[in-house]
Amino acid sequence: MLRYIALKVGRALFVVWAAFTLTFVLLFVLPANPVDLLFDPAEINTVPPEVREQVAANYGFNKPVSLQYLDRLGHALVGDFGNSVQSGRPVTTAILGVLPSTLVLAAGALVLALLIAFVIALVATATRHTWVRNLVEALPSAAVSVPVFLSGILILQVFSFRLGWFPAFGDDGLASLVLPLITLAIPVAGPIAQLLVRSFGTEFHSGYVTTSWAKGATRGRIIIGDVFRNASLPALTIAGITFGNLIAGSVITETVFARRGIGRMTQNAINTLDVPLVQGIVVLVAVSFALINLIVDLIYPLLDPRLRATLAAPGAPAA
């Protein structure tokens, strides 16, 4: 068991380290002169050389690359990614200021997506009518094929401008969260629902379900008591991956709904070439992504006794 945990934690740490290293290479090593990135491209030719040198020294660009790397890594380990070029505030503070609102959005959207997906899968499995099943099974692909910027604008049009139920933008209170949540949740609900419909269908026709029928169980009891847990396991893995996509997807949602958050901040940071901020964002997103997947990996053995057994006692049955 300990070995398993150590393995998974190690993998999570590796992902974060790799994200850090990759962004370092992309942002600080590959550009011919990283100092150029720190100035507005329009004014770059008017900057006097002394100032450039001064800036380079400030950021440590005059040191060898390996030293720069170790220096930045060392600081990053204690949560210091330097200062934002634009605002001059520490990167970590800037990110932590907006991270919660993005996390709430992503987590909320994930929960909503899972709810939608489970409802679709349950209805498709439970119904006795073929046409209901066909209809419900068509929903996921429809959800996937509508892009976020389109559905976002559509939802805004209807619920905010026409009906006026929810505010169109801003980030004050729960009401302002509803529309972004729905916009973000619908496309990611699609793949999860497809997976769940399939695994519910497979499990519903498996051997132990026949046993349950023979015990005298009713359809509802079988779906809730037997199928649900077995069929839900695959959704856990995909939920972890989806969470990463949701954070990435927040760029569009936060722009459309004019919300504060990592997405907006990323967009600004890239537009203004705020190199330290971009690196900080990438690494912090990697951290949250790795953390979620670590949690998923650690929950798995709790839900599946077979996995728990192979971890606890290595008595794997041989062929």
Partner 1 sequence: MTETAPDDSTAAADPLLRISDITIEYRTGRRRWTPAVRGVSLHVEPGEFVSLVGESGSGKTTLVQGALGLLPAAARIRAGTIAYSGVDVTGWNDRRLALVRGNYVGFIPQDPNTALNPVKKIGQQVIEAVRFNQPRSNKAAQYREAALSSLRTAGLTDPERVFQQYPHELSGGMKQRALIAIALAGQPKIIIADEPTSALDVTVQKVILDHLIRLQDDLGIGILLVTHDLGVALDRSDRLLVMRDGEVVEQGPVRQVLTQPANDYTRRLLDAAPARHHGRLEPATGVRTVAADAPVALRAHALTKTYQLRGRRPHRELRALDAADLLVRAGTTHAIVGESGAGKSTLASILVGFTTADHGTVQVGDRELTSLRHTQLRELRRDLQFVFQNPFTSLDPRFPVSRIIAEPLHAFRLLPGKQQRRARVVELLRSVALDESYLDRLPSQLSGGQRQRVAIARALALNPRILVLDEAVSALDVSVQAQILQLLVDLQAELGLSYVFVTHDLGVVRLIADDVTVMQDGVVVETGEVEQVFHAPQHAYTRQLLAAMPGTRLAADAR
Please report, as ranges, the residues that interact with partner 1 according to CB under 8 A: 3, 130, 206-208, 210-219, 221, 225-226, 229-230, 303-306, 309-311, 313-316, 318-319
Q: What is the DSSP letter of 316?
A: P
CB of 199 to partner 1, least distance (A): 14
Q: Based on CB atoms, which residue is closest to partner 1, 163 or 214?
A: 214
Query: Taking the complex as a whole, how short is the minimal distance between the CB of residue 209 and partner 1, in angstroms?
Result: 9
CB-nearer residue toward partner 1: 126 or 248? 126
Please identify, using beta-carbon distances, which residue of 32 and 318 lies nearer to partner 1.
Answer: 318
* Residue 56 C-beta: closest distance to partner 1, Å: 52
- Nearer to partner 1 by Cβ, of 54 and 202: the residue is 202
Closest separation in Å from C-beta 210 to partner 1: 6
Q: Report how far residue 80's alpha carbon sits from residue 82's, in angstroms, rounded to the nearest whole number.
A: 6
Whether the CB-CB separation of 99 and 264 falls below 8 Å is answered with no
| Least CB distance to partner 1 at residue 233 (A) | 8
| Residue number, 2 or 32, with CB nearest to partner 1 | 2
Most distant CA pair in the chain, distance: 86
Measured from the CB of residue 200, what is the shortest distance to partner 1 in angstroms?
A: 15
311/300 Cα distance (integer angstroms): 11
Nearer to partner 1, 21 or 237 (CB): 237
Measure the CA–CA gap between 120 and 111, rounded to whole angstroms. Answer: 14
Q: Which residue has the tokens 């497979």?
A: 202
For residue 226, what are the CA distances in angstroms to 30, 169, 211, 230, 298? 55, 44, 10, 7, 23
Which is closer to partner 1, CB of 69 or CB of 228? 228
The CB-of-219 to partner 1 minimum distance in angstroms stands at: 6
Q: What are the φ/ψ torsions at residue 140 (nearest 5 degrees)?
A: -55, -45
Nearer to partner 1, 54 or 210 (CB): 210
Q: Which amino acid is at 204?
A: F
Quote the Cα angle for 13-15-21, to 5°: 100
d(CA 83, CA 264): 18
Residue with tokens 């890594």: 73
3-class secondary structure, 51: helix
What is the closest distance, in whole angstroms, from the C-beta atom of residue 165 to partner 1 in the complex?
41
Q: Which residue's CB is nearer to partner 1, number 58 or number 211? A: 211
- Residues with Cβ within 8 Å of residue 1, at least 6 apart in sequence: 301, 311, 312
Instruction: Reduce the DSSP state of residue 258 to 3 states and report it.
Output: coil
> For residues 191 and 140, is the Cβ–Cβ distance under 8 A?
yes
Residue 181 in contact with residue 109, Cβ under 8 Å?
Answer: yes
Say if CB 170 and CB 160 are below 8 A apart.
no
Smallest separation, CB 120 to partner 1 (Å): 19
